Structure formats: C-alpha cells, structure tokens
Amino acid sequence: MSTTSAAPKAASNGGFTAAAATYLEERTSISAVVKEFGRKIFPDHWSFLLGEVALYSFVVILLSGTFLTFFFQASMAETVYNGSYAPLKGVEMSAAMNSTLNISFDIRGGLLMRQVHHWAALLFVAAIGLHMLRIFFTGAFRKPRELNWVIGFMLFILAMAEGFTGYSLPDDLLSGNGLRIIDGMVKGLPLVGTWISFLLFGGEFPGTAIVGRLYTLHILLLPALVVAFIALHLTFVVVHKHTQYAAAGRTQQNVVGYPILPVYAAKAGGFFFIVFGVIVLIASLFTINPIWNYGPYDPSPVSAGTQPDWYIGFADGALRLVPPGWEFVWLDRTWSFNIIVPVLVLGLFIVTVAIYPFLEAWITGDKREHHIADRPRNNPGRTAVGAAGVTFYAALWAAASSDIIATHFKLTMEGVIHTLQACLILGPIVAYIIAKRICIALQKKDRTIALHGYESGRIVRLPGGEYIEVHEQLDEYERWRLVSFESYQPLMLRPNSRGKITASNRLRAGLSRWFFEDRIAPVTRGEIEGGHGHH
C-alpha cells in the first residue's frame, strides 16, 4: 500500500520521466541492474572488438534471415520456374530453388537481403575465427576463462553448421554438390556410414527430405543454440571481467577502461551500425552465391571450381590432399581409408583446439587466475604452437582452392597438390621454429631496451675521441609494459608421494621442457637499478 502511494508524489516532484522511472523501479527493481552494468568497465583496445563484430554480424544475420523466411519455401516439391530470369524459364526445379530465385528477382529488396544474409554469414565466421586467434595468442583463455573458451569454440562449430545448412538450402547445383560431398564423407565412415546417410537423407541421396530437415536445423535448433551460447558467453565475460593488456596501473585485480554507460554503450551501439553498414555496402556492390548461374540441382553435372564457403574449405582441402590408393581388398570387401583418415585428422585438430586451455594449464601447472593478457612474444612456446596450427589450417584451406590456384598462377594441379601436401606436414614445423625464434628475438630486444634504453640517434664524441650513441631511458610507463610478464621455468621431474615417477609425469615434464626450455626471463627490479649505472 505504501509503495503505490509513493508514485504520485514522485510524479509531482520530477515530472513524467521521474514518474516513469519510479513506476519501472517499483515493479522491476531495475536500478540494481543499471547500477551494476552501467558502471561495468570495459578496456579499450581494437582487438577486444572482434568478438563484437561476430555478435553484430549475427544480429544482421537474424534480421535478414527473418526477412528471407517470409518468402523461402523449404520444399523439394518439383515445380517449373516461371519467374523473370530468362535463362531458367521453363526449367524444372525444386520449390526451394524456385522460391530462392523469386527472392532474388521478383521480391523487392530480396536479392539485397539474400546477399546481406550470405555476406554477413561469411563475416560472422571470419570474425569468430579472428577473435579466437586473438584470445589464443594473448593467452586470454587461461584460468578462469577456460570454460568460456570452450563455449566460444562451440559457437565456432555452431556457426560453421549454420553456414553449411544455409548454403545447402537453395537446392542449386553448387549446394547440391556440397551435400553430395558430405554424403560421400558420411558414407566413407566404416560400418555405420551408409546407415547414417540414409537416415540423414531419408533414403538414397538426394531424396526429397533433406532441404526441409536442414531448414529446421538452420532456422530453429541451431540459432536457438547459438543464442543460448552467446548469452552464456557474454555472462561469463561479465562474471570474469574483461582481460586487459599490461600497462601502468593495470593489475590482476582491476580493469582500466570506460564504463558501459554512457561511453561504452554509445561506442558499441555506433559500432553495430558501422558493421551493419559495411555488410550492406558489400552486399549491394558484390554478388555472392549467384544461384541463377548454378541452376537447379541435378546429380549429374558438377561445375569446375565447385567449392564450399570458406569456413568449410579446410575440410574440403583435407579430402583433396589425401594421396590416391589408400584402400585394400580384404574378405571380399574394399577397406578404404581415403575418407576416414582426413576425418580423424580434422577431428583431432579440432579437439586439440577445444581443449588447448586445459593442456596448457596442465603443462604449466599454473593454478592462478590471469587477467592480464600476454603479448604473444612473451609466451614463445604457445605462440609457436599457434603459428604451427594456423599453418596447418592454412595448408588445408589453400588445398580447397587447388584448382583455382593452378589456373590462375599457371601451375599444374598435381604440382599444387604435392606442394600443399608438403606444406601440410613440413609447414607447421617450419612455422613453429620461425615463430619461436622471432618471439625470443623480440623478447631479447625488449629486454635490451628495458635495461639500456633505446637508441636515440644522437652520436656524441667524448673528450678522448671515442664516439658513442646516447641511449635514452624509457619512461616508467613504457618500461612497465616491457617488463611485466611471467615466464615459466620447465617443470622438474620429481618422484610423487609414493616415490614413483609416473609416465604422465614424464610426459608433462617433457612437454614443459619443450615449451619453456628456451626462454627469456623478464627484467627484474635489481637488473634495472643495476643497469642504470652503465650508461
């Protein structure tokens, strides 16, 4: 009773805004949320916005996708095209293809929306990829954020699934070929392959069910999962607070940056429109997925240059790089490894990415929380492993376009394939060594600068005739950035409480040595104070 009588009093004091605010507050207690979130601090660095790019492109995908669902018919019923695109008039095709062509040619704004949707999808997965690389190379996945890395990884997988199901919906020649490859991969699994394929397609490929099924996944299940995981992901970001790069005044306990209200909310809101604008600009100028060229799906033709969208390219590349003849006949059956081996290799690669935070935590044995992001050079082992992984992925990725590389650089197909096979195996090793050496060299440079200052370019002639270059000392703020990092020492191999050295201990010590044997220790206070005397 007392609360209801308070409202008119406030209204008479502060006008409509105050009355409305009071009304809301009394019914929702929202002020606690505003107080908590409005003062939430986010650090300001361009690389922290990559995840936001992914989020915003997802919003664009939701908006444009909703428009498309108004007109798309997820059916493989046979129809005859009678729309306005002349070279397909009178051609038999599925209702899905027919309605996609209608969206492209006969519905106002339809083609733009289709292109916005598709370009935004490519940007969504690309932004996730770049965001993951940023997290990886700065070590932002360390405790307490390991679980959030896994959630983000799940989002990456879900985004690829969203992309692939969407790519398959128009039922054009390209998407049908893509599905045929998936069908082949599924059928290549030993024992269960054929069963799974028939289950998936509701009979022999392509059947009449797959577009409807993919549509349900594409607009219902997968987006629901993506939204749920994004919510979880962002909740964790709030709970953990954002990481920040080392600088003066930034510690493991604080976050230096702008509060959400008003600065960050304004910036982020504006940035949403910038991302939206860039996507619409690209979509209005550049064709994507011209299904009118591809024509309706028909199992007999396969176009030259048939590729999946970029994010599935690494899987396509893995299939292309398998040398021929990995099969034998035994018990009157052909045992083929052409499919199962690349599938297993990709599976291993993906699982390694997913569990990397736990692997690294196990190797270092570090149980502390880390809120200061590493500079990549300050953890040469991790950076080198990352570089090797990127090279491995890049070789698979390039292999998916082996035919286009061959025609455009006037090379032979075989030459391109063999080179990429070599890159797949040797590339990661070379990248590992080079990245590690570069990191260590950069650390050495940092160490020299922190201790002796930077070369000022001023040459001074001493009374004795000697020429020296004057080194200027860094200011305290700059130096802090160079010296505040951690460096792990390789674990000592010690017997456990029962006096035994287990195999897992040996493995762990070996990995630790591999990671941290070559290392540059950060400059200590004593060294800095001692160093001043020299120059």
| Part of the chain binding other proteins (CB under 8 A), chosen from 116-124, 248-256, 466-474, 505-513 | 116-124
The CA distance from 519 to 403, in Å, is 43
Q: How many residues bind other proteins (CB under 8 A)?
A: 71
Distance CA 162, CA 218 (A): 6
As measured in angstroms, the least distance from the Cβ of 206 to other proteins is 16
Which position among 9, 35, 39, 89 is part of the footprint of other proteins (CB under 8 A)?
89
How many CB atoms sit inside 10 A of residue 67's CB?
18
DSSP 207: T
Among 76, 116, 122, 214, binds other proteins (CB under 8 A): 122
Minimum CB distance to other proteins, residue 67 (Å)? 16
**Interacting positions 156-175 with other proteins (CB under 8 A):** 173-174
Shortest reach from residue 303's CB to other proteins, in Å = 4
| 122's tokens | 């490519």
Helix axes 380-399, 340-364, angle to 10 degrees: 170
Q: Which is nearer to other proteins, 248 or 413 (CB)?
A: 413
Residue 347 within binding range of other proteins, rule CB under 8 A: no
Distance in Å, CB of 247 to other proteins, minimum: 12
- In total, the chain counts a number of residues equal to 535
Nearer to other proteins, 90 or 463 (CB): 90
Residue from 62, 91, 107, 265 in contact with other proteins (CB under 8 A): 91
Quick note: the x/- pattern for other proteins over 409-448, rule CB under 8 A, is: -xxxxxx---------------------------------
Which CB sits closer to other proteins, 262 or 270?
270
d(CA 512, CA 515): 5
Write the CB contacts of 330 (distance below 8 Å, at least 6 apart in sequence): none
Considering only residues 26 to 55 of the shown chain, the ones binding other proteins according to CB under 8 A are 44-50, 53
Task: State which of residues 225, 246, 255, 406 lies at the interface with other proteins (CB under 8 A).
Answer: 406
Contacts of 315 (CB under 8 A, 6+ apart): 185, 308, 342, 346, 396
Token pair, residue 346, equals 């990709």
Choose which of 278, 346, 353, 434 interacts with other proteins (CB under 8 A). 278
What are the residues whose beta carbons fall under 8 Å from the beta carbon of 343, sequence distance 6 or more? Answer: 185, 188, 189, 318
Residue reference for tokens 């009394």: 26
Kind and range of the H or E run holding 334:
strand 333-336
Question: Per the structure block, which two tokens stand in for 445?
Answer: 């440079």
Pairing of strands 244-245, 372-373: parallel
Binding residue for other proteins (CB under 8 A) from 227, 274, 468, 493? 274
- Shortest distance (Å) from residue 311 CB to other proteins: 8
Q: Whole-number minimum distance, CB 244 to other proteins, in Å?
A: 13
Q: What angle do CA 37, 38, 44 make, to 5 degrees?
A: 95
CA 293 to chain centre: 31
Task: Work out how close the CB of 45 gets to other proteins at its nearest, in angstroms, rounded to a whole number.
Answer: 6
Nearer to other proteins, 127 or 155 (CB): 127
Give me the 53-82 binding string for other proteins, x by CB under 8 A, dash otherwise: x-----------------------------
Nearer to other proteins (CB atom), residue 414 or residue 472: 414
- Non-local (6+) Cβ contacts of 89 within 8 A are 81, 82, 83
Contact string 174-213 vs other proteins (x = CB under 8 A): x---------------------------------------
Q: How many whole angstroms separate alpha carbon 137 and alpha carbon 214?
A: 35
Q: Which is nearer to other proteins, 373 or 450 (CB)?
A: 373
Q: Which helix (H) or strand (E) holds 467?
A: strand 467-472
Distance of CA 137 to the CA centre of its chain: 12
Segment 286 to 315, residues that bind other proteins, using CB under 8 A: 286-290, 292-295, 298, 300-310, 313
Return the SS3 of 35. Answer: helix
Q: Least CB distance from residue 180 to other proteins, whole Å?
A: 13
